[in-house]
A and B are shown apart, each in its own frame.
Chain A
């Protein structure tokens, strides 16, 4: 689903040069939920933006569903984002001027699908996430958790099978955050792939695999069981832990 091969990203030039990522390799398979952890400035968000085609790598390859993003034009890259990749940010995820259903259906409408069909797909996506009753509400009429669920629905509408989430629970209380992660987990169990940046170990515990970044390098990688061990038995249900 997603493959990063020797991906590096350098910002600035000369004295202002910053190596945000250094030769990172990562592969995410369908149905897999990968958490990315690391201290501030380690390159977590950069990895996510490169994977989502929001930024371009200085070197290396980013491949999404067999398509190398670096070889695409701006227009084609936008089309990949529209059809293959869904993004969930920490907050302010939704367009304030659109209702939940319109937010979810936007990528499909931009892609040329008729308004009626796009809305039908959006309602179906909201239904899947369990927030169908929010369809006609505007973002400022929803709680943070509701907004994040709608954002996840938008990230998965159509044929999208790759969800990139940048600290999706960062602005939520614990219970709501856990609920959002449960939704993400559920979508991955249904076949989608997800990469989530987080700095909270108990959230990472929901993932199948955790990768650790430090100073732009991938320094460690652990399977789900290892992560559970690593964080002293924090399980998917959130009990126990450090």
Chain B
């Protein structure tokens, strides 16, 4: 068909669209709304994307470079010119573990200051950025965990990393800058004070600052000496040896006269184990041939691969969405073509052939698709511009700028255009096949759908369903599921004329209005079929999602494990807490309300504490499963680390192991005294249980774990990384008393004395209370009503994992 004919067709389509404003608005909206969403997402993403220079400014302020230690100071490192993406590599001698030379090992022992002096150009000025710590600090209402850092904000090198919102920069000790998020969350303002945990000197807030990359974080920037004081207080307060303050997180570097940090300087610093983010290198990166990292086969063997499945899934989801739009918009074009039937007949009488008629209807698709796409893009872009502040707050970072990428938007526009075009294809073909005289006279002939179409559709439905089920069965099938769904939906479209015809026979049973509507739908199956199929697919999708959510909910209820008795209160400690702090925290909770007597829970370990800072070796204690409780398809009766199947989920033994029993931080056997039993296992326990516990008998909550009146504990020693070296396992057998509490948070309870006698060690884990007003019912897998155990105390809340009101140590709130 010639171009002039297309032009005439588009002219007719454009004017038709203007004449039928309601129908046009409907189609435009159907296309514009998804385009709006995609365009807004694109503009948001592109605006939030920072240029390397913008990113450099957020990382290093106005400095010439940001210096960080690689895997180890002194060990040679290779890096990309732009190391933001973590593109660094410590050369390895086979395998993936670094293999330092003797020289590098000797360098690693040298003082950091000396290494820096040798690695960096002479005259470079360094501003250390100390390691940030998340610590509780006092607020107007109590305490709030805040990220505490220490550097001199008045140094111009930091400007850009941190922006002053109000007030003035801290100029000395005792002054602190707070992020606007901290001020909002803490209820403090400039001029008020805050005291980090472990110190007694209040710090005066002099500035409200904004970290452009972390808008929502509660942050404090202390004077460096104040940070040292805070860290020292933290270190001396721990149970273990005092932790060294550690090297700084990095250094801001200024070259003399801001002359720039060259790529050669970077390579030299790499030799001494430092990774450099250089502003000059970012602006003018070296050729690939000058980057050792690109030449190192070891780095390229690390398996940096994209995820083609994720890409394919995304493409399929987008395709499915497009199909839905096409199916919904198609009937609108079919109605339009029918309304224009005489007009199309006139064109045919005037010499238009089938291609010309198709072009006119397709032209509607082009016009409305293009209008919808452009409308969606414009509205999306405006929406992002107007809502920029909210979006930045949601994303937690300031945009680099307001960025419209023409290529992206053109692509989105094309998708909208193609959607409109696709929606018009079937009506166009139908219109072009219309007999000229039928078009001119307005007579319509109802034809039964061809049998082959129905059969083909049925086959597609069956095939698509089979493919989707295959995907579910193999457990690797998002592609199969989505592909099968599309095939089945297309099949449904093909079958719908037949189904509509079947339903049409019910018309005689209906009152006049519905009968007319049904007959009209039956007579115009061409436009009815895609609309019905689209609604059918949407309903099917909604039902599938509902079934999935309902099933998940049921599974969650079935697998629910409480942390303690309903109404109990628990204070969990951190392993780094000192005994004094634990006592202070427990005392504070005790005094905050009438909680009744306190019980203490201890975690158990074998020889080596898994929570120790060095954790060179870890000794775990678990309840051994009898052979009868072996989880099928898993090694050692444990399903951990193995693929989860439906059989395993339903199997009690698998659930016991797979779910990492123990809502108490994964501990499934603990030590405590009789006083804690009501809060832990619920009321109604036989008094003999407490006596047996005190006498050294283990209380076991699941009868199947006890054989001949004894329970066996597995004592396993692994290396600190979780088992790269062969584990050593021994067992210990203890007399056991069954307390039938199958949904209790632990499987076994020992007294601390019995644990020590069995060769185990204990460490404080939590304090528990069971207030007198709380329920004394045993721990139950049934969810309590929202009001149960959670009286109207302002700070009482349901914990996310247990649905029981808990009080956690302040440092655990993070």
Q: Which of A73-81, A141-149, A168-176 contacts B (4 or more CB under 8 A)?
A: A73-81
| A82 pairs with B349, CB closer than 8 A | no
| B353 pairs with A52, CB closer than 8 A | no
Contacts of B436 in A (CB 8 A): 54-55
**A120 vs chain B, min Cβ distance (A):** 14
A104 to chain B: closest residue by CB = B350
| A106 pairs with B350, CB closer than 8 A | yes
Is A87 an interface residue when CB atoms closer than 8 A count as contact?
yes
Q: A-facing mask of B339-383, CB < 8 A → 1, else 0?
A: 000110011111111101000000000000000000000000000
| A109 pairs with B5, CB closer than 8 A | yes
Contacts of A97 in B (CB 8 A): 11-12, 15-16, 19, 343
Is A49 an interface residue when CB atoms closer than 8 A count as contact?
yes
B4 to chain A: closest residue by CB = A109
| B353 pairs with A79, CB closer than 8 A | yes
Q: Which of A76-99 contact B (CB under 8 A)?
A: 78-83, 87, 89, 92-98
| B4 pairs with A107, CB closer than 8 A | no
| A107 pairs with B342, CB closer than 8 A | no
Contacts of B16 in A (CB 8 A): 97
Is B584 an interface residue when CB atoms closer than 8 A count as contact?
no
Given A95-B346, A98-B11, A109-B5, A75–B353 Cβ distance below 8 Å? yes
Contacts of B354 in A (CB 8 A): 74-75, 78
Given A96-B343, A110-B5, A115-B7, A81–B12 Cβ distance below 8 Å? no
A110: contacting residue among B8, B15, B342, CB under 8 A: B8
Q: Which of B297-333 contact A (CB under 8 A)?
A: none
Is A167 an interface residue when CB atoms closer than 8 A count as contact?
no
| A98 pairs with B12, CB closer than 8 A | yes
In the complex, A89→B348 CA distance in Å?
13
| A110 pairs with B343, CB closer than 8 A | no
Contacts of B348 in A (CB 8 A): 54, 78, 81
| A154 pairs with B437, CB closer than 8 A | no
**B756 vs chain A, min Cβ distance (A):** 94
Is A111 an interface residue when CB atoms closer than 8 A count as contact?
yes
Given A54-B437, A95-B346, A97-B19, A112–B2 Cβ distance below 8 Å? yes
Size of the chain A interface, CB-CB below 8 angstroms: 33
| B353 pairs with A78, CB closer than 8 A | yes
| B350 pairs with A107, CB closer than 8 A | yes
In the complex, A93→B343 CA distance in Å?
9
B16 to chain A: closest residue by CB = A97
Q: Which of B416-441 contact A (CB under 8 A)?
A: 436-437, 440
Contacts of B8 in A (CB 8 A): 102, 106, 109-110
In the complex, A98→B340 CA distance in Å?
13
**B344 vs chain A, min Cβ distance (A):** 9
| A52 pairs with B349, CB closer than 8 A | yes
Is A113 an interface residue when CB atoms closer than 8 A count as contact?
yes
| A87 pairs with B12, CB closer than 8 A | no
Contacts of B350 in A (CB 8 A): 81-82, 87, 106-107, 110, 154
| A110 pairs with B352, CB closer than 8 A | yes
| B19 pairs with A87, CB closer than 8 A | no
B17 to chain A: closest residue by CB = A97
Size of the chain B interface, CB-CB below 8 angstroms: 25
A79: contacting residue among B5, B351, B440, CB under 8 A: B351
A154 to chain B: closest residue by CB = B350
Is A194 an interface residue when CB atoms closer than 8 A count as contact?
no
| A49 pairs with B437, CB closer than 8 A | yes
| A54 pairs with B7, CB closer than 8 A | no
In the complex, A92→B340 CA distance in Å?
12
Contacts of A93 in B (CB 8 A): 346
Is A165 an interface residue when CB atoms closer than 8 A count as contact?
no
| A97, A106, A109: most-surrounded residue (chain B CB, <10 A) | A97
In the complex, A96→B8 CA distance in Å?
14
**A159 vs chain B, min Cβ distance (A):** 12
Is A114 an interface residue when CB atoms closer than 8 A count as contact?
yes
Q: B-facing mask of A97-129, CB < 8 A → 1, else 0?
A: 110001000110111111100100000000000
In the complex, A81→B356 CA distance in Å?
13
**A29 vs chain B, min Cβ distance (A):** 23
| A95 pairs with B4, CB closer than 8 A | no
In the complex, A102→B5 CA distance in Å?
12
In the complex, A97→B363 CA distance in Å?
13
Contacts of B353 in A (CB 8 A): 74-75, 78-79
B348 to chain A: closest residue by CB = A78
**B354 vs chain A, min Cβ distance (A):** 7
In the complex, A55→B348 CA distance in Å?
12
| B5 pairs with A55, CB closer than 8 A | no
| A102 pairs with B11, CB closer than 8 A | yes
**B614 vs chain A, min Cβ distance (A):** 82
B4: contacting residue among A55, A74, A118, CB under 8 A: A118
A85 to chain B: closest residue by CB = B351
**B41 vs chain A, min Cβ distance (A):** 36
In the complex, A83→B351 CA distance in Å?
8
B354 to chain A: closest residue by CB = A74
In the complex, A153→B528 CA distance in Å?
40
**A5 vs chain B, min Cβ distance (A):** 22
In the complex, A136→B16 CA distance in Å?
17
**A236 vs chain B, min Cβ distance (A):** 29
Q: Which of B6-24 contact A (CB under 8 A)?
A: 7-8, 11-12, 15-16, 19
A54 to chain B: closest residue by CB = B436
| A107 pairs with B351, CB closer than 8 A | yes
A99 to chain B: closest residue by CB = B15
**B366 vs chain A, min Cβ distance (A):** 15
**B10 vs chain A, min Cβ distance (A):** 11
Q: A-facing mask of B505-542, CB < 8 A → 1, else 0?
A: 00000000000000000000000000000000000000
Given A97-B12, A112-B5, A81–B351 Cβ distance below 8 Å? yes
Contacts of B343 in A (CB 8 A): 95-97
B14 to chain A: closest residue by CB = A97
B356 to chain A: closest residue by CB = A110
Q: Which of A34-93 contact B (CB under 8 A)?
A: 49, 52, 54-55, 74-75, 78-83, 87, 89, 92-93
In the complex, A110→B349 CA distance in Å?
12
**B742 vs chain A, min Cβ distance (A):** 76
Given A93-B346, A95-B12, A112–B19 Cβ distance below 8 Å? no
In the complex, A78→B351 CA distance in Å?
5
| B4 pairs with A112, CB closer than 8 A | yes
**B360 vs chain A, min Cβ distance (A):** 10
In the complex, A96→B18 CA distance in Å?
11
B3 to chain A: closest residue by CB = A112
B12 to chain A: closest residue by CB = A97
| B356 pairs with A98, CB closer than 8 A | no
In the complex, A189→B774 CA distance in Å?
110
**B238 vs chain A, min Cβ distance (A):** 82
In the complex, A154→B348 CA distance in Å?
14
In the complex, A115→B4 CA distance in Å?
7
| A54 pairs with B349, CB closer than 8 A | yes
**A31 vs chain B, min Cβ distance (A):** 23
B349 to chain A: closest residue by CB = A87
A78: contacting residue among B7, B15, B352, CB under 8 A: B352
A82: contacting residue among B19, B342, B351, B437, CB under 8 A: B351
| A81 pairs with B2, CB closer than 8 A | no
**B579 vs chain A, min Cβ distance (A):** 87
Q: A-facing mask of B691-725, CB < 8 A → 1, else 0?
A: 00000000000000000000000000000000000
| B11, B349, B351: most-surrounded residue (chain A CB, <10 A) | B351
Contacts of A109 in B (CB 8 A): 4-5, 7-8
A114 to chain B: closest residue by CB = B4
In the complex, A106→B359 CA distance in Å?
14
Contacts of B7 in A (CB 8 A): 109, 115
Contact sample, A vs B, 8 pairs, CB 8 Å cutoff? A55-B437, A93-B346, A95-B346, A98-B12, A98-B15, A110-B347, A110-B356, A154-B350
10 more CB-based (< 8 A) A-B contacts, given A55-B436, A55-B437, A154-B350: A78-B351, A82-B351, A89-B440, A94-B346, A95-B347, A97-B19, A109-B7, A110-B352, A112-B2, A115-B7
- Identify the 6 closest CB pairs spanning chains A and B, nearest first: A82-B351, A97-B15, A78-B353, A112-B2, A81-B351, A109-B8
